[in-house]
Amino acid sequence: MAHTVTAGLAKIREDLAGLYQDLHRHPELSRQEHRSAALLAGRLRAAGVDEVTEGVGGTGVVGVLRGGDGPVVMLRADFDALPVEEKTGLPYASEQRGVDADGTDVPVMHACGHDMHAACLVGAATLLAGAREQWRGTVLLVFQPAEELGCGARDMVDDGLFARFPTPSIVLGQHVGPLPAGFVGHGSGPVMAAADSLNITLYGRGGHGSRPESTVDPVLMAANVVTRLQGVVSREVPPAESAVVTVGRLQAGTKDNIIPDTAGLGVNIRSATESTRALVRAAVERIVRAEAAASGAPREPDLAWSGAVPALVSDPAATATTLAAFTDHFGAERIMPMPPVNASEDVGVFGESLGVPTVFWFWGGLDAQTVVTALQEGRLDELPGNHSPHFAPLIEPTLSTGVEALTVAALTWLDTP
């Protein structure tokens, strides 16, 4: 059945490539995806999707494709972009700029492949809509905004996604990455890490740089915090567990001879299990407060947690079933196992909120021979990956593989007539 349905891809491949290039050329920042949302909604309506709703969870788009009585299967794609200046040199490269949440003018690029995700979901929706006689059930098509902020899935759930639309029994999603194009990568169980962000404000007492004894120096306080945090993973997390603590922002002062009143830090944490996540969060808070106390800070530091994303778990049993269908469709030679990834994805919020399984996989977007050569020469880290200004998947076979994977996965969980 899957081969029969995906045979229709030949008729829409060129049109989908045009959609992908349009999305890539016109990226939009998280929670600002208005043009993209309208374009995607229009494509769903043109494909014959029964119900299309815009503005879900902000700028999200939801389509309901009905094929008679049967299970409800959810297909999800994200479609927000990043504040990155594109350096691919492609004829359809982005030249867009935007204003971020802090009011700063920034370049904008689809540096994580979300444009490819969205185009593939439109393709799968089109194939499934044109072959309703081949399946029974309902397909819930979810175009999610603001994945890069880690809040888009939660925003859609909080906006009544599963109260306003059919409730799925399984959530299916995918992500393009620096794998060989045409290949599908898979894992089982925890496949992507949990993520937490922490903004810290340390309070000191400012003064002249020549009289440090009259001040409480928040710069030194911040430096000690940064250094001390490096011991959390190496000395508190068990070696068998996985965690990362990164201080990506340290801001203080305006002039070299002025000791400021405050210093700010931005900390990002990745963890694989809830127990490690709780351990690391508690350790970070303990260290920040202790360093402030040790420095004689005039007041307690401010700690503001944000961007909380749970670890993404690809349900083992459901993954095995889906993987068997992929192997049958693509051939075993195009299926490759992958280790857990320390990056994060909020798609798990959908299944977790309902208590239903999520199946998530990766597929490749880089020239296969380039990847093989880099592997042989030990240069894999030099390949452009997600969030790189040089990252842009090959249109083909990446687009066709992504459309087929979503379509095959959906048909695996829908009923047959």
Please, are residues 345 and 360 in contact by the beta-carbon 8 Å criterion? yes
Do 161 and 203 lie in a common domain?
Answer: no
Tell which of 309, 330, 362 closes a domain.
309
Task: Report, as an integer, the average pLDDT of 285-291.
Answer: 98
The CATH number covering residue 215 comes to 3.30.70.360
Three-state DSSP at 140 gives strand
Do 141 and 20 lie in a common domain?
Answer: yes
CA dihedral 362, 363, 365, 367 (to 10 degrees): 120
Pairing of strands 105-107, 207-208: unpaired
Q: How far apart, in whole angstroms, are the C-alpha atoms of residue 117 and residue 187?
A: 19
Please, are residues 198 and 303 in contact by the beta-carbon 8 Å criterion? yes
Q: How far apart, in whole angstroms, are the C-alpha atoms of residue 376 and residue 59?
A: 43
Q: How far apart, in whole angstroms, are the C-alpha atoms of residue 264 and residue 202?
A: 6
Q: In Å, how far are 81, 216, 221 from 212, measured between CA atoms? A: 45, 7, 13
Confidence (pLDDT) at 376: 86
State the pLDDT confidence band at 372, using cuts at 50, 70 and 90.
Answer: confident
Q: How far apart, in whole angstroms, are the C-alpha atoms of residue 337 and residue 188?
A: 9
CA dihedral 288, 292, 294, 299 (to 10 degrees): -140
Do 165 and 240 lie in a common domain?
Answer: no
Each residue of 17-57: pLDDT tens digit?
A: 999 999 999 999 999 999 999 999 999 999 999 999 999 99
Which amino acid, one-letter code, is at 96?
A: Q
Each residue of 54-86: pLDDT tens digit?
A: 999 999 999 999 999 999 999 999 999 999 999
CA-based nearest residue to 393, from 29, 112, 172: 112
Confidence (pLDDT) at 380: 84
* DSSP string over 313-341: EE-HHHHHHHHHHHHHHH-GGGEEE---B
What is the value of pTM for the model shown? 0.93
State the pLDDT confidence band at 381, using cuts at 50, 70 and 90.
Answer: confident
pLDDT higher than 90, residue 307: no
Task: Report, as an integer, the average pLDDT of 123-143.
Answer: 97
The first and second tokens of residue 89, run together, are 């040199």
Q: How far apart, in whole angstroms, are the C-alpha atoms of residue 239 and residue 273?
A: 13
Element (H, E) at 34: helix 34-47
Element (H, E) at 354: helix 348-354
Please, are residues 348 and 311 in contact by the beta-carbon 8 Å criterion? yes
Tell which of 266, 286, 309 closes a domain.
309
Do 177 and 203 lie in a common domain?
Answer: no
pLDDT higher than 90, residue 352: yes
Question: Which residues does 299 contact at the CB level (< 8 Å), separation at least 6?
Answer: 203
The total domain count for the chain is 2
Residue 244 bridge partners (DSSP): 270
Three-state DSSP at 138 gives strand
Task: Report, as an integer, the average pLDDT of 349-378.
Answer: 94
Task: Report, as an integer, the average pLDDT of 248-263.
Answer: 98
Confidence (pLDDT) at 181: 97
Do 153 and 287 lie in a common domain?
Answer: no
How many other CB atoms are there within 10 angstroms of residue 331's CB atom?
Answer: 9
Do 53 and 162 lie in a common domain?
Answer: yes
Confidence (pLDDT) at 338: 95
Each residue of 207-217: pLDDT tens digit?
A: 999 999 999 99
Do 224 and 183 lie in a common domain?
Answer: no
Do 317 and 273 lie in a common domain?
Answer: no
Please, are residues 48 and 129 in contact by the beta-carbon 8 Å criterion? yes
The first and second tokens of residue 304, run together, are 């503001």
Confidence (pLDDT) at 22: 98
Q: In Å, how far are 18, 55, 154, 297 from 61, measured between CA atoms? A: 20, 6, 14, 48
Kindly report the average pLDDT of the chain as a whole number: 97
Tell which of 309, 334, 361 closes a domain.
309
Domain that holds residue 327: 2-192+311-413
Q: How far apart, in whole angstroms, are the C-alpha atoms of residue 322 and residue 327?
A: 9
CA-based nearest residue to 164, from 73, 52, 2, 258: 52
State the pLDDT confidence band at 1, using cuts at 50, 70 and 90.
Answer: confident
Each residue of 147-188: pLDDT tens digit?
A: 999 999 999 999 999 999 999 999 999 999 999 999 999 999
Do 351 and 209 lie in a common domain?
Answer: no
Do 286 and 315 lie in a common domain?
Answer: no
Distance of CA 233 to the CA centre of its chain: 24
Three-state DSSP at 269 gives strand
Q: How far apart, in whole angstroms, are the C-alpha atoms of residue 282 and residue 308?
A: 15
Question: Which residues does 244 contact at the CB level (< 8 Å), separation at least 6?
Answer: 193, 233, 268, 269, 270, 271, 342
The first and second tokens of residue 341, run together, are 């990834």
Task: Report, as an integer, the average pLDDT of 201-210.
Answer: 98
pLDDT higher than 90, residue 228: yes
The CATH number covering residue 107 comes to 3.40.630.10
Task: Report, as an integer, the average pLDDT of 120-130.
Answer: 98
Do 275 and 320 lie in a common domain?
Answer: no
Element (H, E) at 278: helix 274-294
Do 376 and 365 lie in a common domain?
Answer: yes
